[in-house]
Amino acid sequence: MASIPVYVGLDYHQRSVQVCVMDRDGNRLVNRAVENDARAVSQLIKRYGRPERIAIEACCGAANMAEELIVREQLPVELAHPGYVARMKRSCDKTDFGDAGTLADLTRVNYLPTVWLAPESTRELRRLVRHRAQLVARRKDVKLRIRALLRENRVNCASGLNPWTKAWLAWLQQEAPLGANDRWLLADHLAELDALTRRIKASEARIQTVTALDPLVAQLLTLAGVGLVTAVTLRAEIGRLDRFRSGKQLARFCGVTPRNASSGEPTRDSFRPAIPNCGAC
């Protein structure tokens, strides 16, 4: 039984993993849930044959499971693109049983839409970068609430002062004509704003420490208009630049260039950005 080639689909959940094993003819040998543990998943798969390809849909936690199966269990695991898999499903019903079966079938017919499995270091950097972005979004929300409070009270900014400068904030705290309750709200908003600003600076310091020896980040920082946040975001979200065959492909991945999606006579885009060459990639 262990010599029979099989194809596997894994539907990942926090506490369990639905495992579907198929043979070359598309017969389901098993489709059931097991504990969320790489060893348990591996033992179930190997009980029915030799895994040729294994697919797990990319989601929160799936990359970590995939890496464990690859490194510890020596299994050929690939991350599946969740958006494309959803379009290929034969039914609109979403069940663990059906999702695992779809993934197994796509691996069997060699039609699995895959995504890059980033290493753990890149995934950690992504979490840091996204944490900072979330803090910045929360700070922006606080600023909008402060401006809305001023508009509600028909308070115009002091003449000659730019918003959010030290002088403007001092005027806001000391001279802005607000009632007692609104002044209490303003003080609460400003305290939250100050705390978020300190947390953003702390996250940026952590990011700078983590990427201090990264040669790609260092090279990106030499480019005009690229600062630490931009360079580290590119490093975290793109990972390896050599994953792309051209600068045009990279630009499309980042969503900064249009893509022609029409039939008939082909059209060509003239813009072809270059990919920086870096030995770290």
2-17: per-residue pLDDT in tens? 678 999 999 999 999 9
Report the sign of the C-alpha dihedral through residues 240, 241, 245, 247, in that order: positive
CB 241 within 8 A of CB 250: yes
Partner residues linked to 150 by β-bridges: none
Q: Which pTM does this prediction carry? A: 0.81
The sheet with strand 50-57 has its strands ordered as: 28-35, 16-22, 5-12, 50-57, 77-80, 114-115
Residue 153's nearest CA partner among 182, 118, 124, 130 is 182
Q: What is the mean predicted confidence (pLDDT) over 107-117?
A: 93
- Domains of the chain (ranges; CATH) run 5-115 (3.30.420.40), 127-210 (no CATH)
pLDDT band at residue 228, thresholds of 50, 70 and 90? very high
Cα–Cα dist 170/185, whole Å: 16
| Beta carbons within 10 angstroms of residue 239's beta carbon | 20
pLDDT band at residue 90, thresholds of 50, 70 and 90? low
CA separation, residue 232 to residues 48, 75, 118, 144 (Å): 44, 32, 15, 27
144-193: per-residue pLDDT in tens? 999 999 999 999 877 778 899 999 999 999 989 999 999 999 999 999 99
Q: List, in sequence order, every beta strand (DSSP E) within the chain.
A: 5-12, 16-22, 28-35, 50-57, 77-80, 114-115
